[in-house]
């Protein structure tokens, strides 16, 4: 494993009428990262928010902003999200013809670079860019909407990508339908970073958010396979507890 389990609540499931308060609440509730799902209504069939919203909520927490760009084209917007306060910027392998170039651009902006794969996209799509990556995000639903059910066949893909990473300091993140009921299986397959939206924001108070985050974390930690834990934990370049530098 690349380190301790990271829980990254997706603010797509938050109350947008008080988004800043919601970010502060999940920070206090024990979120490790803040996951920002950016949708353009073109690459995916929904529109969420853009760089200006991320900039507006950036002062509410010092936690890592894990920005998942479900947009195409993506390259023209990388700088805007970097300036808005993203720490990790993840692009889709399917969103453009020059993935390697996009990843180089993210790192040139001083940010950690991630790539995401839709359920129908094979892991071979990232084989030749692994050394450009700080994070791989496996979608366990088809991107575009929150609240979807977890696609169990993606567990095999997670395990294959874990083997591909092969000791590199790359976080393996999973997004889509994550709950306390499947977190153990996801972690057992090799994931170390779990995105959860509805399963975290279910409830109305920071105390309920804290209980939800703790339940997902406990389940994931119970599912980890000890033999996969290795010294690469010390080499991860993204800080687990605060903002990336």
**Catalytic residue numbers?**
37, 175
Largest separation between any pair of C-alpha atoms in the chain: 45
What single string gives the DSSP state of each residue in 200-225?
HH-SSSHHHHHHHHHHHHHHHHHH--
- CA of residue 118 relative to chain centroid, distance: 13
Please count the residues of the chain: 245
What single string gives the DSSP state of each residue in 139-191?
ESS-TT-SSPPP-TTHHHHHHHHHHHHTT-S-EEEEESS--TTTHHHHHHHT-
Q: Cβ distance 191 to 155 under 8 Å? A: no
SS3 of 75, please?
A: helix
By CB neighbour count within 10 A (0-12 exposed, 13-18 middle, 19+ buried), where does 55 fall? Answer: middle
Peptide bond into 73 cis (omega under 30): yes
By CB neighbour count within 10 A (0-12 exposed, 13-18 middle, 19+ buried), where does 223 fall? Answer: middle
CA dist 58 and 64 (Å) reads 10
């Amino acid at each position: 494993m690349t380190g301790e389990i990271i829980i990254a609540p997706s603010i797509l499931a938050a109350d947008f009428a008080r988004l800043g308060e919601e970010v502060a609440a999940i920070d206090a509730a024990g979120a490790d990262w803040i996951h920002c799902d950016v949708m353009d209504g073109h690459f995916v069939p929904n529109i969420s928010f853009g760089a200006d919203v991320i900039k507006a909520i950036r002062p509410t927490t010092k936690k890592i902003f894990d920005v998942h760009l479900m947009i195409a084209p993506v390259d023209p917007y990388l700088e805007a999200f970097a300036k808005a306060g993203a720490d990790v910027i993840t692009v889709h392998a399917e969103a453009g013809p020059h993935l390697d170039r996009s990843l180089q651009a993210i790192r040139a902006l001083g940010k950690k670079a991630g790539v995401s794969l839709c359920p129908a996209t094979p892991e071979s799509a990232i084989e030749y860019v692994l050394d450009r990556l700080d994070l791989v995000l496996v979608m366990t639903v088809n991107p575009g909407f929150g609240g979807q059910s977890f696609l169990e066949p993606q567990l095999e893909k997670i395990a294959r990508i874990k083997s591909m990473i092969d000791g590199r300091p790359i976080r393996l993140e999973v997004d889509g339908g994550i709950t306390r009921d499947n977190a153990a299986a996801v972690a057992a397959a090799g994931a170390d970073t779990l995105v959860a939206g509805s399963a975290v924001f279910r409830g109305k108070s920071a105390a309920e958010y804290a209980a939800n985050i703790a339940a997902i974390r406990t389940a994931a930690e119970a599912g980890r396979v000890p033999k996969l834990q290795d010294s690469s934990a010390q080499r991860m370049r993204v800080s687990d507890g605060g903002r990336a530098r």
